[in-house]
Amino acid sequence: MSQKKKKYLQKKSSKLMTAAKICTLLLSAFFSGAMTALSGAGLVYNRGSYGESLADTGFFLIISAALMVSGAVLCLFRKNLPDILSIILSFAGLVLCMVMLKKLTGHADASGWTDKYTLEPVSGMYIRRILPCIVPVLMSGAIAAVQLGSYELKEQRRAKKAEKNAPAPPIIDEE
């Protein structure tokens, strides 16, 4: 495959995919980056009144937010390795986030934490803030999967494999 055709295959992208990537990045920055990380930071910051157990939960929420945002950023590139890492990091961050959310809401319900104005359980507030991070994770996973299965990347993999398996040049020149 010629160099010109390789460059063309790399640059080809649809407007729908670009819009999906922008939307994923914005949603990930808000839901995963802001809501999840700031909830975790609040737990870590107030560890004196919450205890070390919830401070650890907050720390893991921050780590999960970093993993989910990293996964969303990696799905922007049209390469094999970043797409695979995007899927792994996004879903690993989501699983960690959901485990920490379950632990946090369980502790909040067991302790009887409520909003002082509405007397609504605080666990509902945590669920409303953190649960929407599922949407950008699913979007980044879908984008990465579509890119991995795209015709252009398949052709790039085939061309790379053909170059790797090309016959070796002769050792001695026969004239």
pLDDT, greater one: 113 or 57: 57
Q: Which pair of tokens denotes residue 122?
A: 């605080």
Among the ranges given (5-14, 47-56, 70-79, 103-112), the one the predictor scored with the smallest mean pLDDT = 5-14
What pLDDT is attached to residue 160?
A: 75
Q: HEC states along 70-131?
A: HHHHHCCCCCHHHHHHHHHHHHHHHHHHHHHHHHHHHHHHHHCCECCCCCCEHHHHHHHHHH
Burial 27-55 (b: 16+ CB within 10 A, else e): bbeebbbebbbbbbeebbeebeebeeebb
Average pLDDT (98-114) is 93
Alpha-carbon distance 46 to 138, whole Å? 32
Q: Which pair of tokens denotes residue 31?
A: 């839901």
Mean pLDDT of the chain: 88
Whether the per-residue pLDDT at 119 is higher than 90: the answer is no
Q: Residue 21 — very low, low, confident or very high, per pLDDT cuts 50/70/90?
A: very high
Average pLDDT (64-91) is 94
Whether the per-residue pLDDT at 11 is higher than 60: the answer is no
What pLDDT is attached to residue 43?
A: 94
Average pLDDT (155-164) is 75
Q: Residue 104 — very low, low, confident or very high, per pLDDT cuts 50/70/90?
A: very high
pTM score of the predicted model:
0.81
Whether the per-residue pLDDT at 5 is higher than 60: the answer is no
Amino acid residing at 142: A
